[in-house]
Amino acid sequence: MIGRRDVTRRETLLLGVGALASVAVPAHADLGPERHGMSAFGDLKYPADFKHFDYVNPDAPKGGVFSQVGPTTLYNQNFRTFNTLNCFILKGDGAQGMELTFASLMAGAADEPDGMYGLAARAVQISPDGLTYRFLMRPGTRFLDGSPLTAHDVVFSLKALKEKGHPIAQILLRDLAGAEAPDDATVVATFAPNRARDVPLFVAGCPIFSRAYYTHRPFDESTLDVPLGSGPYKVGRFDAGRYIEYERVKDWWGADLPVARGLNNFDFVRFEFYRDRDVAFEGFTGKSFLFQEEFTSRFWATRYDFPAIREGRVKRDVIPDDTPSGAQGWFFNTRRGKFKDKRLREAFAYAFDFEWTNKSIMYGSYQRTHSVFQNSPLMAVGKPSAEELALLEPFRGKVSDEVFGEPFVPPVSDGSGQDRALLRKASALLQDAGLMIKNGKRVLPNGEPITVEFLLDEPSFQPHHMPFIKNLATLGIEATIRMVDPVQYKARQQDFDFDLTIQRFSFSTTPGDSLRSYFSSQSASTPGSQNLAGTADPVVDALIERIIAADNRPALVIACKALDRVLRAGRYWVPHWYKASHWIAYWDVFARPATKPRYARGIPETWWYDRDKAAKLEQRG
Q: What percentage of the chain reaches a pLDDT higher than 70?
A: 95
Q: How confident is the model at residue 448 (pLDDT cuts 50, 70, 90)?
A: very high
- Does the pLDDT of residue 4 top 80, yes or no? no
Query: 71 preceded by cis ω (within 30°)?
Result: no
pLDDT in tens, 339-361: 999 999 999 999 999 999 999 99
Mean pLDDT of 153-179: 96
Closest CA to 121 of 31, 201, 215, 32: 201
Mean pLDDT of 292-318: 95
Predicted local distance difference test score (pLDDT) of residue 9: 26
Q: How confident is the model at residue 512 (pLDDT cuts 50, 70, 90)?
A: confident
Predicted local distance difference test score (pLDDT) of residue 618: 84
Predicted local distance difference test score (pLDDT) of residue 31: 86
Contact by Cβ (8 Å): 71, 53: no
Predicted local distance difference test score (pLDDT) of residue 3: 45
Predicted local distance difference test score (pLDDT) of residue 621: 62
Q: Output the average pLDDT for the chain.
A: 93
Could you tell me which residues come within 8 angstroms of residue 310 by beta carbon, excluding any fewer than 6 positions away?
none
Predicted local distance difference test score (pLDDT) of residue 13: 27
Could you tell me which residues come within 8 angstroms of residue 422 by beta carbon, excluding any fewer than 6 positions away?
350, 351, 353, 411, 413
Mean pLDDT of 314-326: 91
Could you tell me which residues come within 8 angstroms of residue 522 by beta carbon, excluding any fewer than 6 positions away?
171, 516
Q: How confident is the model at residue 508 (pLDDT cuts 50, 70, 90)?
A: confident
DSSP 41: S
Mean pLDDT of 329-338: 97
- Does the pLDDT of residue 17 top 70, yes or no? no
Cα-based angle 79, 86, 187 (whole degrees, multiple of 5) = 120
The distance of Cα 347 from the centroid of its chain, to the nearest Å, equals 29
DSSP 100: G
Residue 351 to residue 369: CA distance in whole angstroms: 16
From residue 331, give the alpha-carbon distance in Å to each of 310, 356, 408, 500, 524.
41, 21, 16, 5, 13
Predicted local distance difference test score (pLDDT) of residue 507: 86
Helix axes 342-351, 420-432, angle to 10 degrees: 170
Work out the end-to-end distance of the chain between its first and last CA atoms, rounded to an integer number of angstroms. 32
Mean pLDDT of 432-437: 96
- Does the pLDDT of residue 300 top 60, yes or no? yes
Phi and psi at 301, nearest 5°, equal -80, -25
Helix, strand or coil, per DSSP, at residue 157: helix
Contact by Cβ (8 Å): 558, 568: no
Over the range 34-57, which residues count as b (16 or more CB within 10 Å of their CB) and which as e? ebbbbbbeeebebeeebebbebbb
CB atoms within 10 A of CB 469: 17
Predicted local distance difference test score (pLDDT) of residue 30: 77
Predicted local distance difference test score (pLDDT) of residue 617: 87
pLDDT in tens, 205-252: 999 999 999 999 999 999 999 999 999 999 999 999 999 999 999 999
Q: What percentage of the chain reaches a pLDDT higher than 90?
A: 87
Residue 274 to residue 69: CA distance in whole angstroms: 8
Predicted local distance difference test score (pLDDT) of residue 562: 98
Closest CA to 244 of 98, 354, 45: 98
- Does the pLDDT of residue 136 top 70, yes or no? yes
- Does the pLDDT of residue 482 top 90, yes or no? yes
Mean pLDDT of 262-280: 96
Contact by Cβ (8 Å): 193, 179: no
Predicted local distance difference test score (pLDDT) of residue 20: 53
DSSP letters of 399-427?
B-GGGGSSPP-PPP--SSSS-HHHHHHHH
Mean pLDDT of 194-201: 89
Predicted local distance difference test score (pLDDT) of residue 162: 97
The CATH number that domain 327-578 falls under is 3.10.105.10
pLDDT in tens, 546-600: 999 898 999 999 999 999 999 999 999 999 999 989 999 999 999 999 999 999 9
480: left (phi over 0), alpha (psi -120 to 50) or beta: beta
- Does the pLDDT of residue 274 top 90, yes or no? yes
- Does the pLDDT of residue 419 top 90, yes or no? yes
Predicted local distance difference test score (pLDDT) of residue 81: 95
pLDDT in tens, 80-91: 999 999 999 999
Q: How confident is the model at residue 14 (pLDDT cuts 50, 70, 90)?
A: very low
Contact by Cβ (8 Å): 378, 324: yes
Closest CA to 417 of 457, 361, 459: 361
Residue type, 427: S
